[in-house]
Amino acid sequence: MSSTLPGKFYTSRHSHGTFAIRQFGPVEMTERDDRCGGTLRASAVPEDECDLSQECETLTHSHAPVVVVWRNVVLMSVLHTAAVYGLVLVPSASAYTLLWTVCCFVFSALGVTAGAHRLWSHRSYKASLPLRIFLAIANSMAFQNDIYEWSRDHRVHHKFSETDADPHNASRGFFFAHIGWLLVKKHPKVIENGQKLELSDLKNDRVVMFQRRFYKTSVVVMCFLIPAMLPWFLWAESLWVGFFVSALLRYTLVLNATWLVNSAAHMWGNRPYDVTINPRENRFVAFSAIGEGFHNYHHTFPYDYGTSEFGCKLNLTTGFIDLMCVLGLAKDRRRVPSELVMARAKRTGDGSHRSG
């Protein structure tokens, strides 16, 4: 079942650097996938829920001065140097330690993908209290800003993608979109537009606010102490190896996997759903970021819990959410009907769409 609402504005980029809001006909609506309850109910949801009351406006590039945050430059340099050293130590790590490192990678990545991204930023499914606590703990292990700040910036990213109001504006190049945006002060328009967003759902979530209040402590424990010390405590791994491999190397890999969504997935790949926007379908990013690389689909249908029309294919996060649904810990997964995906691909895609 589906329905439509008139009027949907999209941001398109022109060669002279101006971003204009264009209208692409009716807004496509979605079905709510509630198969865990044995039913399929219709739910009218605007195609871009992050497009919160956006007026028809033109966004231009301004020339705000770039202010380097040298503390972040030093910290990121030290972190990546330590990660390279962690790679050197990998052959000396035990099999249990390597398996533990992979588990920490997946766990912390889920805190970003299934947690901060699909649950809290886009509200693409509902999670029970135990699952929300689980994902908040995983998010602290990922150490990519607390859930509230991550979700706020991500909503700004979707609403003002590839403009100065986009925190990691890919039109400023790969390096800026990947890591450079963390090495400089935010553009004033990022801050200005972030303050305008309606974030009451995040403020009213006790788990989100609790994690924000105790974020620094939770990061020290979850991102560094537990990954490093558990191998030492359980199977006598060297603390040195545990710290550099399971903590620092793993942390750095999760960071870069997430950053590739902002950089590579906005530059390289095909655009089967909407050729007028930069985000692309990138299978390497989908693999490394456990399902977040189907980015043209995601920016076209941001409320879809799967971020892809292909289910669990190269999408571990979707499989995780489905499993939580079966276990009764999640429900109300939002999904785009296939006929609407096909219609949209035919109307605005680059012709590369295939349903499989």
pLDDT digits (tens, 9 = 90+) for 53-76: 333 333 555 567 899 999 999 999
> Is the residue at 354 inside a domain?
no
Exposure string over 84-117, b if 16+ CB within 10 A, otherwise e: eebeebeeebeeebeebbeebbbbbbbbbbbbbb
What pLDDT does residue 63 have? 63
Show the beta-strand stretches assigned E in the chain.
Answer: 4-5, 9-13, 18-23, 27-28, 30-34, 39-43, 58-60, 126-127, 330-331, 333-335
Asked if residue 316 is part of any domain, the answer here is yes
How far is the C-alpha of 104 from the C-alpha of 98, rounded, in Å? 10
How many residues would you count in the chain? 356
Taking CA 39 as the corner, what is the angle to CA 33 and CA 40, rounded to the nearest 5 degrees? 40
- Provide the pLDDT for residue 35: 45
Q: What is the pLDDT of residue 42?
A: 34
pLDDT for 61: 56
Q: Are 47 and 8 in contact (CB under 8 A)?
A: yes
What pLDDT score does 62 carry? Answer: 59
Query: Which residues are within 8 A (CB) of 199 and not within 5 positions of it... i.e. 6 or more apart?
Result: 148, 151, 152, 155
Residue 278 has pLDDT above 90, yes or no: yes
Choose the weakest-confidence range: 1-5, 69-73, 304-308, 311-315: 1-5
**Dihedrals φ, ψ of 79, to 5°?**
-60, -45
Assessment of whether the complete model's pTM goes beyond 0.75? yes
Q: What percent of the chain has pLDDT over 90?
A: 81
In a domain, 356, yes or no: no
Distance from C-alpha of 288 to C-alpha of 205, rounded to nearest angstrom? 30
In the predicted model, is pLDDT for residue 13 greater than 90? Answer: no
Among residues 202, 256, 276, the alpha carbon closest in space to that of 25 is found at 276
* pLDDT, the chain, mean: 87
Q: How many domains does the chain have?
A: 1
| CB within 8 Å of 195: residues ≥ 6 apart | none
189 domain residue, yes or no? yes
pLDDT digits (tens, 9 = 90+) for 208-267: 999 999 999 999 999 999 999 999 999 999 999 999 999 999 999 999 999 999 999 999
Query: If we measure between CA atoms, which residue out of 239, 218, 219 comes closest to residue 230?
Result: 239
pLDDT at 82 over 50: yes
The reply to whether 70 falls in a domain is yes
Give the whole-angstrom CA distance, residue 215 versus residue 62.
34
Asked if the structure places residue 355 within a domain, the reply is no
Q: Which of 292, 304, 130, 143 lies closest to 227, judged by CA?
A: 143
On whether residue 112 sits in a domain, the answer given is: yes
The reply to whether 286 falls in a domain is yes
If we measure between CA atoms, which residue out of 277, 331, 341 comes closest to residue 307? 341
Range of the domain at 61: 4-348
Q: For 49-103, where are the E strands, in sequence order?
A: 58-60
With CA atoms as reference, report the closest residue to 135 among 108, 151, 156, 115: 115
